Amino acid sequence: MCHVKNGPFETRPPVRESTLSSTCTLGVILAAQRLDLNTVDKIHYYSKLVDSNRHNGLSVEEHMHSQYKNMADLNGNELTCSPIENLVKAANAVRNFLISKSFCDCSLIISFQRIVKTNPAIDKYVKLRLENSQKLANCDVIQDESGNLYLVSLAVVDTDPK
């Protein structure tokens, strides 16, 4: 796959349209991974901007207006927002970057447990689950073509917490 050069420190695959539903687990992960549209250099700039102004409150407005009045959006268009709005946009860009990078380093864990013995608690759970479309607890119940029932659990985890 050809990677797109975004800056001196980062490359990423080109963005393609996804056929995943935005409500399925993989669709949510992909959407989170795509939150970041900035290069590392731009995020570093935004992070410094937010960090240098986080304790100044409203007094930062004049400083930002003079220093960042020509701040451009991702398409190179000049931002016509107030300096405080520009600071909020910078903070949101940093937040999206952190979320995106966290989801780029996650694992999807799926477990299946076949229901083979009659158990009143499981029978009650399965009956409730099959009657209702909403998910109960952390498990779901699926049925294969042969009529076998399985408890299925899905988790998105960071296997290498920082």
Task: Provide the whole-model pTM.
Answer: 0.45
Who has greater pLDDT, 158 or 111? 111
Whole-number percent of the chain with pLDDT over 90: 0
Report the C-alpha gap between 39 and 50 in whole angstroms: 16
Q: 116-147, pLDDT tens digit by residue?
A: 766 677 667 766 766 654 444 456 778 889 88
Least confident of 54-58, 96-100, 103-107: 54-58
For residue 88, the Cα-to-chain-centroid distance in whole angstroms is 19
Average pLDDT over residues 69-83: 56
Question: What pLDDT does 67 receive?
Answer: 52
Closest by CA position to 95, among listed 53, 32, 52, 157: 32
Classify residue 136 by its DSSP letter. Answer: B
Tens-digit pLDDT profile for residues 34-43: 777 777 788 8
Q: What is the pLDDT of residue 88?
A: 78
